[in-house]
Chains A and B, each alone.
Chain A
Amino acid sequence: MKISDIFKRKSSSDVAKDRLKLVLVSDRATCSPDIMQKIRSDIIEVLSKYAEIDMDNIDINITQMDTEDNTGKTVPALYANIPIKNMNHTSK
């Protein structure tokens, strides 16, 4: 650990806040970690039919987004960032 890390280190209350925000998103979406894992593997399975996916940089999560009516309320949303290495053109 570098000395600069000591100063950069997150306070434990910030860690608590971040962890809470994440856990509440999945609690509120009533989406268990098990289901999330299944969603992830199903998406990958489907996409793999058409493209070669960069498995190391996949990011699929349930997050919150603002509703369209601008009432400040949020709804759960599926966020997915899936880098593609190569398109498979074999199924042409």
Chain B
Amino acid sequence: MGEVIVITSGKGGVGKTTTTANIGTGLAKLNKKVVLIDTDIGLRNLDVVMGLENRIVYNIVDVIEENCKLRQALIKDKRYDTLFLLPAAQTRDKTSVTPEQMKKLTEELKEEFDYIILDCPAGIEQGFLNAIAGADRAIVVTTPEVSAVRDADRIIGLLEAKEIKNHQLIVNRLRPDLIKRGDMMSADDVVEILAVELIGQVPDDENIVIATNNGEPLVGDNSLAGQAYMNICRRVTGENVPFLDLEARKGLFGWLSRKR
């Protein structure tokens, strides 16, 4: 029986889709059977981040309206045989799906996959309610900014109201240089404010931009962000992995100065 995890944030642009793509790909790397669902109907993007935009034939609304079989709408990943994407519809809106239909869909996928990961749209309206309907667990993504943390707090409140008690936090786009000089909240600061369990801290890494350009999630590569995402995946599976030192490996000069 698989686990349904929703990746959510409240605020837009904090990295939900990138996080979904990397966690999904990372779990597939760990030999898990994974399906990613883009629930952002009307504004789909997980397909381009995964580099699968040219393979879409059917989408989630087709499945729900029974225009096709579930199997037909699942797109197999380019690199991993155990990773699939169920894309959102682009020409419809959030009201094309109800929470009950979403729940039924995830229940069906649970039979076959180890992890069902839902990329939630920004906001707290219908799209959000659809995405969390069948979720066993939530991962809340935020950045160390006042606006994003405030929205994360609101989301956590709504998750608790919907009885999704199993939720953890990812603090994304951390800049160790800014944190050091006191101009950015650290992951610990954010955790202290939100009083929630931390499952990942991801540095602001230019390799993310490059990976998104190429449509190939970087999880598990040598970059700091790639390592951070891989650690998150292992924590998702229940492994106890220490947090990365984000200060480490900042080029040759950083390396030299640390050696002193």
A residues with a Cβ closer than 8 A to B are 11-14, 16-17, 19-21, 23-24, 27-28
Contact = CB atoms under 8 A, between A and B. Distances in A.
Contact of A24 (B150, B178, B182): B150
Contacts of A17: 185, 189, 192-193
Question: Interface residues of B: mostly helix, strand, loop or mixed?
Answer: helix
Interface of B: 144-146, 149-150, 153-154, 157, 178-179, 181-186, 189, 192-193
Nearest to A10: B182
Contact of A27 (B144, B150, B179, B184): B150
Nearest to B151: A27
Contacts of B184: 13
B183 A13 contact: yes
A11 B186 CA distance: 13
A28 B150 contact: no
A14 B146 CA distance: 11
Given A11-B183, A12-B183, A20-B193, A27 B154 contact: yes
Given A13-B189, A20-B150, A23-B146, 9 more contacts: A12-B183, A13-B184, A13-B185, A17-B185, A17-B189, A20-B146, A23-B150, A27-B153, A28-B157
Contacts of A27: 150, 153-154
A14 B182 contact: yes
Contacts of A21: 193
Question: Interface residues of A: mostly helix, strand, loop or mixed?
Answer: helix
A11 B144 CA distance: 14
A11 B182 contact: yes
A11 to B, nearest CB: 3
Contacts of B157: 28
Contacts of B181: 11
28 contacts: A11-B181, A11-B182, A11-B183, A12-B183, A13-B144, A13-B178, A13-B179, A13-B183, A13-B189, A14-B182, A16-B145, A16-B146, A16-B185, A17-B185, A17-B192, A17-B193, A20-B149, A20-B150, A20-B193, A21-B193, A23-B146, A23-B150, A24-B193, A27-B150, A27-B153, A27-B154, A28-B153, A28-B157
Contacts of B149: 20
Given A24-B193, A27-B153, A19 B182 contact: no
